[in-house]
Amino acid sequence: MTTEIFVSTDIEADGPIPGVYSMLSFGSAAYLPDKTLVDTFSANLETVPDAITHPKTMAWWQTQPEAWAACRQDLQPPEIAMQNYSKWLKALPGQPVFLAYPATFDFMFIQWYLIRFTGESPFAQSGLDIKTYAMAMLKTPYQESSKSQMPDHWFDPGLPHTHVALDDAKEHGALFCNMLAENTRVQTN
């Protein structure tokens, strides 16, 4: 049986969808199910030619000057960053499973960029949404399954949510692994 590697990923963008808008940065933290952090990858990207910015997204960025500065340093062409990312994913010691909070937003950008700039995605269609997993564990409606409703012991102290992609990817990966461990314990008892 192939080991699954949960690739917790966070992206930052200048609009709500890829193609029309650009992914500015992304970070991935690859975790084994036991919360062992295998490796990380992050990149800040040049914007896609002919892409535009979304006014509401850019207004939000004005409230996050430190995160904005962090994602606009050491910019790489998207084709180089995504080729390196694909190689990194393929070198992981197991089958990568995309993981995010919310997965629908982050996966949409990562998948689009991988397909556009490398022609393939090592994730295929494998992805997990942490909020949906929380909904199932908490037995609550989706809208009531936000981080504020999750138990404190699911969160690792010292892993901040900074809107810097790699920081947030690490935070979400540890959160998921803590949830997975609790869910597995409940099922085996």
Could you give the CA distance from residue 96 to residue 162 in angstroms, rounded to a whole number? 25
Q: What's the pLDDT band for 185 if we cut at 50, 70, 90?
A: confident
Distances (CA, A) of 157 to 19, 81, 154, 171, 178: 36, 31, 10, 9, 12
- Contacts of residue 183, defined as CB under 8 A and 6 or more positions apart, other chains included, come to 133, 137
**Pick from 82, 61, 89: nearest CA to 163:** 61
Mean pLDDT of the chain: 95
pTM above 0.85, yes or no: yes
Q: pLDDT by residue (tens digit) across 64-93?
A: 999 999 999 999 999 999 999 999 999 999
Q: pLDDT by residue (tens digit) across 8-33?
A: 999 999 999 999 999 999 999 999 99
* 43 beta partners: 26
Residue 34 has pLDDT above 80, yes or no: yes
Mean pLDDT computed over 142-156: 95
Pairing label, strands 95-100, 4-13 = parallel
Q: Please report the pLDDT score of residue 2 as a whole number.
A: 78
Residue ranges of alpha helices (H) inside 40-164 are 55-61, 65-71, 78-91, 103-118, 130-138
Q: Please report the pLDDT score of residue 105 as a whole number.
A: 97
